[in-house]
A and B are shown apart, each in its own frame.
Chain A
Amino acid sequence: KAGVTQTPRYLIKTRGQQVTLSCSPISGHRSVSWYQQTPGQGLQFLFEYFSETQRNKGNFPGRFSGRQFSNSRSEMNVSTLELGDSALYLCASSWTGGYSTDTQYFGPGTRLTVL
């Protein structure tokens, strides 16, 4: 079974631009979560989507948004990029998002650099 895929793998943008990252979950998985990973803050939860609905959101500004399509693929968008948005963006998929009994599988991430 194919794993979680993320595109692009690397991205360089300048301040003020916007960016869209894509995540394709494991076949059959309906929950997709997004995380930001930085050396200073570690792994931080952005939001989770299930059946095209955002069910949970972390403490990030409104510049960070996402959506999920009917095939469970998800995108996240960051508008008006700031230098501090430079990070590894990881998505993770699971069957239902109820993690007590549900394993979360991570993709390889998109490395975003903001200049």
Chain B
Amino acid sequence: QQPVQSPQAVILREGEDAVINCSSSKALYSVHWYRQKHGEAPVFLMILLKGGEQKGHEKISASFNEKKQQSSLYLTASQLSYSGTYFCGTEYGGTSYGKLTFGQGTILTVHP
């Protein structure tokens, strides 16, 4: 089942903050966040693992609430380069080799 992302779209001015949520009705094993710019490949941002371990890069942080089966991506002091569509990809464990189930995406637009 597809995770649900909210909000569907966000418009910011440079320097403002944003939070993107990813919720699942099934127990999550891990959550993977990606950003995709128009016409380009999705770019990996971060992995959050069950148990709280985080792996990522860039000045972006995230959290994983096991109780709520929800992950949140925090974008602080946004820059123009943060514009794009953000996807969460969820892994449900077991024999889910190579399979990520993606949310519908959140479109983030940062204006000068």
Contact = CB atoms under 8 A, between A and B. Distances in A.
**Chains A and B belong together in one complex:** yes
Interface of A: 4, 31-33, 35, 42-45, 48-50, 55-56, 58, 90, 92, 94, 97-101, 103-109
Interface of B: 2, 29-30, 32, 34, 40-44, 47, 49-50, 55, 87, 89, 91, 93, 95-105
Contacts, number: 81
Contacts of A108: 40-41
A42 B102 contact: yes
A76 B41 CA distance: 18
Contact of B42 (A45, A55, A90, A101): A90
Contacts of A92: 98
Given A103-B44, A104-B32, A104-B44, A58 B99 contact: yes
A55 B91 contact: no
